[in-house]
Structure 1
Amino acid sequence: MGRAENMAAYAARIKEQKMAEDVNWGKLLDTVSEIQKWFPEGVAFIGGIAVHAYLEHSGEYAKYAAQSHDADFVIRVADMADLRDIEALTPNNRLNKQQFVKNGFEFDVYVEGQHNLPVDTADAIVYSVERNGLRVVCPEHLLKMKVFAYNDRKGSVKGDKDEADIARVFLTLNEVSEAACELDEDDLEVIHEILKGNVYRRLTDNNDFEARQLKTVCLDNFEGLRRHLGYR
Protein backbone atom coordinates (compact mmCIF):
# COMPACT_ATOMS: atom_id res chain seq x y z
CA MET A 1 0.00 0.00 0.00
CA GLY A 2 1.42 3.37 -1.01
CA ARG A 3 1.62 6.56 1.01
CA ALA A 4 -1.58 7.99 -0.48
CA GLU A 5 -3.49 4.80 0.33
CA ASN A 6 -2.13 4.83 3.90
CA MET A 7 -3.25 8.43 4.38
CA ALA A 8 -6.71 7.64 2.99
CA ALA A 9 -7.06 4.62 5.26
CA TYR A 10 -5.97 6.70 8.27
CA ALA A 11 -8.48 9.44 7.41
CA ALA A 12 -11.23 6.84 7.06
CA ARG A 13 -10.41 5.38 10.49
CA ILE A 14 -10.47 8.84 12.10
CA LYS A 15 -13.82 9.62 10.47
CA GLU A 16 -15.26 6.30 11.63
CA GLN A 17 -13.98 6.89 15.16
CA LYS A 18 -15.48 10.40 15.21
CA MET A 19 -18.85 9.07 14.06
CA ALA A 20 -18.80 6.41 16.79
CA GLU A 21 -17.95 9.05 19.41
CA ASP A 22 -20.79 11.26 18.22
CA VAL A 23 -23.26 8.36 18.44
CA ASN A 24 -22.03 7.54 21.94
CA TRP A 25 -22.29 11.19 22.98
CA GLY A 26 -25.86 11.34 21.68
CA LYS A 27 -26.77 8.30 23.75
CA LEU A 28 -25.27 9.93 26.86
CA LEU A 29 -27.28 13.11 26.29
CA ASP A 30 -30.46 11.07 25.86
CA THR A 31 -29.73 9.28 29.14
CA VAL A 32 -29.01 12.56 30.93
CA SER A 33 -32.29 14.01 29.61
CA GLU A 34 -34.18 11.02 30.99
CA ILE A 35 -32.68 11.52 34.46
CA GLN A 36 -33.46 15.22 34.34
CA LYS A 37 -37.11 14.48 33.56
CA TRP A 38 -37.33 12.36 36.71
CA PHE A 39 -36.17 15.26 38.90
CA PRO A 40 -36.77 18.56 37.09
CA GLU A 41 -36.38 20.62 40.27
CA GLY A 42 -34.12 18.38 42.35
CA VAL A 43 -30.90 17.90 40.39
CA ALA A 44 -28.29 20.03 38.67
CA PHE A 45 -25.52 18.66 36.49
CA ILE A 46 -21.90 19.55 37.15
CA GLY A 47 -18.48 18.77 35.67
CA GLY A 48 -17.60 18.32 32.02
CA ILE A 49 -21.14 17.83 30.78
CA ALA A 50 -22.13 21.18 32.34
CA VAL A 51 -19.15 22.89 30.69
CA HIS A 52 -20.20 21.38 27.37
CA ALA A 53 -23.75 22.72 27.82
CA TYR A 54 -22.46 26.26 28.35
CA LEU A 55 -20.33 26.22 25.21
CA GLU A 56 -23.06 24.70 23.07
CA HIS A 57 -25.48 27.31 24.38
CA SER A 58 -23.05 30.11 23.50
CA GLY A 59 -23.02 29.15 19.82
CA GLU A 60 -19.90 31.19 19.16
CA TYR A 61 -17.63 28.92 21.20
CA ALA A 62 -19.41 25.60 20.64
CA LYS A 63 -16.54 24.21 18.60
CA TYR A 64 -14.32 24.29 21.69
CA ALA A 65 -16.67 22.04 23.68
CA ALA A 66 -15.35 18.64 24.74
CA GLN A 67 -17.49 15.52 24.91
CA SER A 68 -17.65 13.42 28.08
CA HIS A 69 -18.01 9.71 28.67
CA ASP A 70 -19.91 10.08 31.94
CA ALA A 71 -21.95 12.62 33.88
CA ASP A 72 -22.12 13.96 37.43
CA PHE A 73 -24.93 15.72 39.27
CA VAL A 74 -25.94 17.02 42.68
CA ILE A 75 -29.31 16.01 44.10
CA ARG A 76 -31.52 17.07 46.97
CA VAL A 77 -31.66 14.53 49.79
CA ALA A 78 -35.48 14.52 49.47
CA ASP A 79 -35.16 13.18 45.92
CA MET A 80 -32.51 10.61 46.72
CA ALA A 81 -35.00 8.00 47.95
CA ASP A 82 -36.81 8.14 44.62
CA LEU A 83 -33.53 7.72 42.75
CA ARG A 84 -32.76 4.63 44.85
CA ASP A 85 -36.09 3.16 43.79
CA ILE A 86 -35.15 3.66 40.12
CA GLU A 87 -31.44 2.83 39.99
CA ALA A 88 -29.08 0.50 41.88
CA LEU A 89 -26.63 2.88 43.55
CA THR A 90 -23.22 1.97 44.93
CA PRO A 91 -21.71 4.15 47.67
CA ASN A 92 -18.16 5.42 47.25
CA ASN A 93 -17.38 6.40 50.82
CA ARG A 94 -13.83 7.46 50.06
CA LEU A 95 -15.04 10.15 47.65
CA ASN A 96 -18.34 10.86 49.43
CA LYS A 97 -20.55 10.09 46.48
CA GLN A 98 -22.96 7.52 45.08
CA GLN A 99 -22.54 5.86 41.70
CA PHE A 100 -24.69 4.01 39.21
CA VAL A 101 -24.50 2.83 35.61
CA LYS A 102 -27.28 3.47 33.15
CA ASN A 103 -27.24 2.56 29.44
CA GLY A 104 -23.53 1.82 29.78
CA PHE A 105 -22.66 5.25 31.23
CA GLU A 106 -21.36 5.90 34.73
CA PHE A 107 -23.02 8.59 36.84
CA ASP A 108 -21.56 10.13 40.00
CA VAL A 109 -24.20 11.44 42.39
CA TYR A 110 -23.45 13.99 45.09
CA VAL A 111 -26.21 13.97 47.70
CA GLU A 112 -27.16 17.06 49.68
CA GLY A 113 -25.33 17.06 53.02
CA GLN A 114 -23.31 13.93 52.17
CA HIS A 115 -20.49 15.17 49.94
CA ASN A 116 -17.36 17.31 50.27
CA LEU A 117 -17.95 19.58 47.28
CA PRO A 118 -17.23 23.26 48.02
CA VAL A 119 -20.77 24.37 47.10
CA ASP A 120 -23.91 23.67 49.10
CA THR A 121 -26.36 21.51 47.14
CA ALA A 122 -29.38 23.67 47.94
CA ASP A 123 -27.55 26.78 46.69
CA ALA A 124 -26.29 24.93 43.62
CA ILE A 125 -29.84 23.99 42.64
CA VAL A 126 -31.35 27.39 43.49
CA TYR A 127 -28.83 29.19 41.27
CA SER A 128 -28.85 26.53 38.55
CA VAL A 129 -29.81 27.49 35.00
CA GLU A 130 -30.91 25.70 31.86
CA ARG A 131 -28.32 25.62 29.11
CA ASN A 132 -28.69 23.68 25.88
CA GLY A 133 -31.68 21.84 27.32
CA LEU A 134 -29.83 20.75 30.47
CA ARG A 135 -30.16 22.06 34.04
CA VAL A 136 -26.64 22.87 35.19
CA VAL A 137 -25.04 24.69 38.11
CA CYS A 138 -24.36 28.37 37.47
CA PRO A 139 -20.93 29.29 36.02
CA GLU A 140 -19.59 30.59 39.34
CA HIS A 141 -20.48 27.39 41.20
CA LEU A 142 -19.08 25.35 38.32
CA LEU A 143 -15.82 27.30 38.56
CA LYS A 144 -15.69 26.81 42.33
CA MET A 145 -16.04 23.05 41.86
CA LYS A 146 -13.52 22.97 38.99
CA VAL A 147 -10.90 24.84 41.04
CA PHE A 148 -11.53 22.44 43.94
CA ALA A 149 -10.96 19.46 41.64
CA TYR A 150 -7.95 21.08 39.96
CA ASN A 151 -6.21 21.71 43.30
CA ASP A 152 -6.51 17.99 44.02
CA ARG A 153 -5.48 16.80 40.53
CA LYS A 154 -2.98 19.40 39.35
CA GLY A 155 -0.23 17.89 37.21
CA SER A 156 -2.31 14.89 36.14
CA VAL A 157 -4.30 14.22 32.97
CA LYS A 158 -7.49 15.04 34.86
CA GLY A 159 -5.88 18.22 36.17
CA ASP A 160 -5.12 19.24 32.59
CA LYS A 161 -8.79 18.68 31.75
CA ASP A 162 -9.80 20.85 34.71
CA GLU A 163 -7.54 23.63 33.39
CA ALA A 164 -9.13 23.42 29.95
CA ASP A 165 -12.64 23.39 31.42
CA ILE A 166 -11.94 26.48 33.53
CA ALA A 167 -10.85 28.32 30.38
CA ARG A 168 -13.93 27.07 28.54
CA VAL A 169 -16.24 28.43 31.25
CA PHE A 170 -14.58 31.85 31.03
CA LEU A 171 -15.20 31.99 27.31
CA THR A 172 -18.92 32.27 28.12
CA LEU A 173 -18.73 34.23 31.40
CA ASN A 174 -19.85 37.63 30.14
CA GLU A 175 -22.37 38.08 32.96
CA VAL A 176 -21.85 37.51 36.67
CA SER A 177 -24.51 36.29 39.12
CA GLU A 178 -24.92 36.68 42.87
CA ALA A 179 -23.29 33.28 43.30
CA ALA A 180 -19.93 34.84 42.35
CA CYS A 181 -19.43 35.58 46.05
CA GLU A 182 -18.65 31.86 46.47
CA LEU A 183 -15.31 32.48 44.75
CA ASP A 184 -12.62 33.71 47.14
CA GLU A 185 -9.18 35.24 46.59
CA ASP A 186 -7.47 31.85 46.59
CA ASP A 187 -9.83 30.62 43.87
CA LEU A 188 -9.18 33.73 41.78
CA GLU A 189 -5.43 33.31 42.14
CA VAL A 190 -5.60 29.74 40.85
CA ILE A 191 -7.89 30.76 38.01
CA HIS A 192 -5.67 33.68 37.00
CA GLU A 193 -2.59 31.49 36.81
CA ILE A 194 -4.44 29.10 34.51
CA LEU A 195 -5.85 31.83 32.29
CA LYS A 196 -2.43 33.52 31.94
CA GLY A 197 -0.92 30.27 30.67
CA ASN A 198 -0.96 28.26 27.46
CA VAL A 199 -4.10 26.23 28.09
CA TYR A 200 -5.70 27.74 24.98
CA ARG A 201 -3.38 25.89 22.60
CA ARG A 202 -4.98 22.66 23.80
CA LEU A 203 -8.40 24.03 22.89
CA THR A 204 -7.33 25.14 19.41
CA ASP A 205 -5.12 22.22 18.32
CA ASN A 206 -2.05 24.48 18.68
CA ASN A 207 -3.46 27.27 16.51
CA ASP A 208 -1.58 30.23 18.00
CA PHE A 209 -3.79 32.88 16.41
CA GLU A 210 -6.99 31.36 17.78
CA ALA A 211 -5.32 30.71 21.13
CA ARG A 212 -4.42 34.40 21.50
CA GLN A 213 -8.00 35.39 20.70
CA LEU A 214 -9.41 33.01 23.31
CA LYS A 215 -6.89 34.21 25.89
CA THR A 216 -8.00 37.80 25.39
CA VAL A 217 -11.66 36.88 25.86
CA CYS A 218 -10.99 34.82 28.99
CA LEU A 219 -8.77 37.42 30.65
CA ASP A 220 -11.26 40.20 29.88
CA ASN A 221 -14.06 38.15 31.44
CA PHE A 222 -11.83 37.35 34.40
CA GLU A 223 -11.18 41.04 35.03
CA GLY A 224 -14.93 41.66 34.86
CA LEU A 225 -15.43 39.02 37.55
CA ARG A 226 -12.70 40.54 39.72
CA ARG A 227 -14.27 43.98 39.48
CA HIS A 228 -17.69 42.56 40.35
CA LEU A 229 -16.18 41.04 43.48
CA GLY A 230 -14.45 44.30 44.42
CA TYR A 231 -10.90 43.16 43.65
CA ARG A 232 -8.48 45.30 41.65
Structure 2
Amino acid sequence: MLDTKYKCHVIIGMFGSGKTEIALNSALYLKEKYENVAIADIDVISPYFRTRDEIDILEKRGIKVITPPRQFIHADLPIIPPAVGGYITNPEYQTIIDAGGNEDGATVVGSLKNFLDQAKTATYFVVNTKRPFMNTVDDIIYYIERLSAKTRRRVDYLISNTNLQNETTEDIILKGEKLLYEVSLNTGIPISFTVVPESLKNIKTQFPKFILKRFLDKVYQL
Protein backbone atom coordinates (compact mmCIF):
# COMPACT_ATOMS: atom_id res chain seq x y z
CA MET A 1 0.00 0.00 0.00
CA LEU A 2 1.15 3.52 -0.69
CA ASP A 3 2.46 5.44 2.32
CA THR A 4 -0.29 7.95 3.05
CA LYS A 5 1.89 10.21 5.14
CA TYR A 6 2.85 11.52 1.70
CA LYS A 7 0.38 13.37 -0.51
CA CYS A 8 2.06 12.70 -3.86
CA HIS A 9 3.16 9.25 -5.05
CA VAL A 10 5.49 8.84 -8.04
CA ILE A 11 5.58 5.33 -9.51
CA ILE A 12 8.59 4.49 -11.70
CA GLY A 13 10.26 1.37 -13.03
CA MET A 14 11.41 -0.47 -16.12
CA PHE A 15 9.20 -1.53 -19.02
CA GLY A 16 6.98 -4.45 -18.04
CA SER A 17 7.34 -3.88 -14.31
CA GLY A 18 3.58 -3.36 -13.81
CA LYS A 19 3.64 0.34 -12.90
CA THR A 20 0.34 1.27 -14.51
CA GLU A 21 -1.61 -1.62 -12.97
CA ILE A 22 -0.27 -0.63 -9.57
CA ALA A 23 -1.09 3.03 -10.20
CA LEU A 24 -4.68 2.18 -11.15
CA ASN A 25 -5.22 -0.09 -8.16
CA SER A 26 -3.53 2.38 -5.82
CA ALA A 27 -5.84 5.17 -6.97
CA LEU A 28 -8.83 3.00 -6.08
CA TYR A 29 -7.22 2.12 -2.72
CA LEU A 30 -6.67 5.79 -1.88
CA LYS A 31 -10.23 6.66 -2.91
CA GLU A 32 -11.50 4.40 -0.13
CA LYS A 33 -9.68 6.62 2.37
CA TYR A 34 -9.70 10.11 0.86
CA GLU A 35 -12.36 12.23 -0.78
CA ASN A 36 -10.03 13.80 -3.33
CA VAL A 37 -7.76 11.53 -5.36
CA ALA A 38 -6.08 12.30 -8.68
CA ILE A 39 -3.95 10.22 -11.01
CA ALA A 40 -1.76 11.88 -13.63
CA ASP A 41 -0.77 10.00 -16.76
CA ILE A 42 2.65 11.29 -17.81
CA ASP A 43 3.57 8.18 -19.79
CA VAL A 44 4.78 9.66 -23.07
CA ILE A 45 6.78 6.54 -23.90
CA SER A 46 4.50 3.55 -24.49
CA PRO A 47 1.43 3.33 -26.73
CA TYR A 48 0.26 0.12 -25.09
CA PHE A 49 -0.48 0.38 -21.39
CA ARG A 50 -1.47 3.75 -20.01
CA THR A 51 -3.76 5.12 -17.36
CA ARG A 52 -5.53 7.20 -20.00
CA ASP A 53 -6.99 3.97 -21.43
CA GLU A 54 -8.93 3.37 -18.20
CA ILE A 55 -10.38 6.85 -17.69
CA ASP A 56 -14.02 5.72 -17.48
CA ILE A 57 -13.37 3.14 -14.74
CA LEU A 58 -11.58 5.70 -12.58
CA GLU A 59 -13.88 8.65 -13.19
CA LYS A 60 -16.94 6.56 -12.31
CA ARG A 61 -15.30 6.05 -8.89
CA GLY A 62 -14.84 9.81 -8.48
CA ILE A 63 -11.11 9.83 -9.22
CA LYS A 64 -9.73 12.76 -11.18
CA VAL A 65 -7.74 11.54 -14.18
CA ILE A 66 -5.28 14.01 -15.69
CA THR A 67 -4.39 13.19 -19.29
CA PRO A 68 -3.46 15.05 -22.46
CA PRO A 69 -6.33 16.83 -24.27
CA ARG A 70 -8.81 14.34 -25.72
CA GLN A 71 -7.76 15.03 -29.31
CA PHE A 72 -4.27 13.81 -28.35
CA ILE A 73 -5.28 11.13 -25.85
CA HIS A 74 -4.05 8.18 -27.96
CA ALA A 75 -1.22 10.05 -29.62
CA ASP A 76 2.38 9.17 -28.89
CA LEU A 77 3.46 12.74 -28.31
CA PRO A 78 5.45 14.18 -25.40
CA ILE A 79 2.45 16.00 -23.93
CA ILE A 80 2.40 16.76 -20.20
CA PRO A 81 -0.95 18.25 -19.18
CA PRO A 82 -0.43 21.66 -17.52
CA ALA A 83 -2.83 20.63 -14.74
CA VAL A 84 -0.37 18.02 -13.44
CA GLY A 85 1.64 20.56 -11.47
CA GLY A 86 -1.49 21.98 -9.89
CA TYR A 87 -2.68 18.62 -8.59
CA ILE A 88 0.80 17.75 -7.30
CA THR A 89 0.85 20.87 -5.14
CA ASN A 90 -2.86 20.97 -4.25
CA PRO A 91 -3.01 20.05 -0.53
CA GLU A 92 -6.59 18.79 -0.92
CA TYR A 93 -5.57 15.91 -3.20
CA GLN A 94 -3.76 12.63 -2.88
CA THR A 95 -2.03 12.45 -6.27
CA ILE A 96 -0.46 9.51 -8.10
CA ILE A 97 2.02 10.07 -10.93
CA ASP A 98 1.99 7.20 -13.45
CA ALA A 99 5.33 7.54 -15.25
CA GLY A 100 6.59 5.91 -18.40
CA GLY A 101 9.12 3.09 -18.33
CA ASN A 102 12.90 3.12 -18.33
CA GLU A 103 15.10 6.21 -18.33
CA ASP A 104 13.00 8.16 -20.82
CA GLY A 105 9.95 7.92 -18.56
CA ALA A 106 12.03 8.86 -15.54
CA THR A 107 13.33 11.95 -17.35
CA VAL A 108 9.75 13.21 -17.69
CA VAL A 109 9.37 12.91 -13.91
CA GLY A 110 12.53 14.97 -13.57
CA SER A 111 10.88 17.77 -15.53
CA LEU A 112 8.31 18.05 -12.71
CA LYS A 113 10.94 18.53 -10.00
CA ASN A 114 9.87 22.07 -9.08
CA PHE A 115 6.32 20.90 -8.38
CA LEU A 116 7.30 17.66 -6.65
CA ASP A 117 9.66 19.53 -4.34
CA GLN A 118 6.72 21.64 -3.14
CA ALA A 119 4.72 18.60 -2.02
CA LYS A 120 5.40 15.78 0.40
CA THR A 121 6.33 13.23 -2.25
CA ALA A 122 7.34 9.56 -2.18
CA THR A 123 8.94 7.77 -5.12
CA TYR A 124 8.32 4.04 -5.58
CA PHE A 125 10.42 1.76 -7.80
CA VAL A 126 8.46 -1.24 -9.09
CA VAL A 127 10.39 -4.46 -9.71
CA ASN A 128 9.30 -7.50 -11.69
CA THR A 129 12.23 -9.90 -11.46
CA LYS A 130 10.86 -11.90 -14.41
CA ARG A 131 11.62 -9.03 -16.78
CA PRO A 132 14.94 -8.58 -18.62
CA PHE A 133 17.74 -6.89 -16.66
CA MET A 134 15.79 -7.26 -13.42
CA ASN A 135 16.84 -10.71 -12.25
CA THR A 136 20.02 -10.02 -10.27
CA VAL A 137 20.70 -7.81 -7.28
CA ASP A 138 23.37 -5.86 -9.14
CA ASP A 139 21.16 -5.21 -12.17
CA ILE A 140 18.24 -4.01 -10.05
CA ILE A 141 20.47 -1.67 -8.05
CA TYR A 142 22.01 -0.35 -11.26
CA TYR A 143 18.62 0.62 -12.67
CA ILE A 144 17.40 2.05 -9.38
CA GLU A 145 20.38 4.39 -9.46
CA ARG A 146 19.93 5.23 -13.15
CA LEU A 147 16.25 6.06 -12.87
CA SER A 148 16.76 7.92 -9.60
CA ALA A 149 19.28 10.16 -11.35
CA LYS A 150 16.91 10.81 -14.24
CA THR A 151 13.95 11.63 -11.99
CA ARG A 152 16.19 13.80 -9.81
CA ARG A 153 14.61 12.11 -6.82
CA ARG A 154 15.73 9.45 -4.41
CA VAL A 155 13.77 6.21 -4.39
CA ASP A 156 11.88 5.98 -1.10
CA TYR A 157 10.30 2.55 -1.49
CA LEU A 158 10.57 -0.64 -3.50
CA ILE A 159 7.51 -2.56 -4.69
CA SER A 160 7.79 -6.30 -5.30
CA ASN A 161 5.71 -7.14 -8.36
CA THR A 162 7.30 -10.32 -9.68
CA ASN A 163 4.80 -12.04 -11.97
CA LEU A 164 4.20 -13.85 -15.22
CA GLN A 165 0.64 -12.59 -15.52
CA ASN A 166 -1.74 -15.58 -15.70
CA GLU A 167 1.15 -18.01 -15.17
CA THR A 168 2.13 -16.46 -11.84
CA THR A 169 2.54 -18.91 -8.97
CA GLU A 170 3.17 -18.57 -5.25
CA ASP A 171 6.76 -19.71 -5.80
CA ILE A 172 7.37 -17.00 -8.40
CA ILE A 173 6.10 -14.29 -6.06
CA LEU A 174 8.09 -15.51 -3.05
CA LYS A 175 11.33 -15.87 -5.02
CA GLY A 176 10.84 -12.33 -6.30
CA GLU A 177 10.38 -11.11 -2.74
CA LYS A 178 13.55 -12.87 -1.64
CA LEU A 179 15.63 -11.26 -4.39
CA LEU A 180 14.20 -7.82 -3.75
CA TYR A 181 14.87 -8.21 -0.03
CA GLU A 182 18.57 -8.58 -0.87
CA VAL A 183 18.32 -5.37 -2.88
CA SER A 184 16.69 -3.67 0.09
CA LEU A 185 19.45 -4.83 2.42
CA ASN A 186 22.11 -3.53 0.03
CA THR A 187 20.50 -0.16 -0.63
CA GLY A 188 18.67 0.61 2.60
CA ILE A 189 15.48 1.21 0.61
CA PRO A 190 12.49 -0.44 2.33
CA ILE A 191 9.98 -2.65 0.53
CA SER A 192 6.55 -1.05 0.71
CA PHE A 193 4.51 -4.10 -0.30
CA THR A 194 4.29 -7.22 -2.42
CA VAL A 195 1.74 -7.33 -5.23
CA VAL A 196 -0.42 -10.46 -5.31
CA PRO A 197 -3.10 -11.27 -7.89
CA GLU A 198 -6.63 -11.95 -6.70
CA SER A 199 -6.24 -15.64 -7.58
CA LEU A 200 -3.41 -15.99 -5.02
CA LYS A 201 -4.69 -13.61 -2.37
CA ASN A 202 -4.41 -16.18 0.45
CA ILE A 203 -0.68 -16.84 0.14
CA LYS A 204 1.67 -15.73 2.93
CA THR A 205 4.21 -13.11 1.93
CA GLN A 206 7.17 -11.61 3.77
CA PHE A 207 5.94 -8.06 3.21
CA PRO A 208 2.44 -6.53 3.32
CA LYS A 209 0.22 -7.84 0.52
CA PHE A 210 -1.45 -5.59 -2.01
CA ILE A 211 -4.16 -7.54 -3.82
CA LEU A 212 -4.18 -6.51 -7.47
CA LYS A 213 -7.24 -6.38 -9.69
CA ARG A 214 -6.10 -6.63 -13.30
CA PHE A 215 -7.34 -3.96 -15.70
CA LEU A 216 -4.83 -4.23 -18.53
CA ASP A 217 -5.25 -7.43 -20.53
CA LYS A 218 -1.89 -7.48 -22.27
CA VAL A 219 1.04 -9.85 -22.49
CA TYR A 220 3.07 -7.59 -20.20
CA GLN A 221 2.04 -4.66 -18.08
CA LEU A 222 3.74 -1.31 -18.02
**TM-score scaled by length of structure 1:** 0.27
Q: By percentage of residues, which structure has more helix?
A: 1
Q: By percentage of residues, which structure has more strand?
A: 2
Which structure has more relative contact order (CA 8 Å, sep 6+)? It is 2
**TM-score scaled by length of structure 2:** 0.28
- Considering only CA atoms, is the larger Rg found in Structure 1 or Structure 2? 1
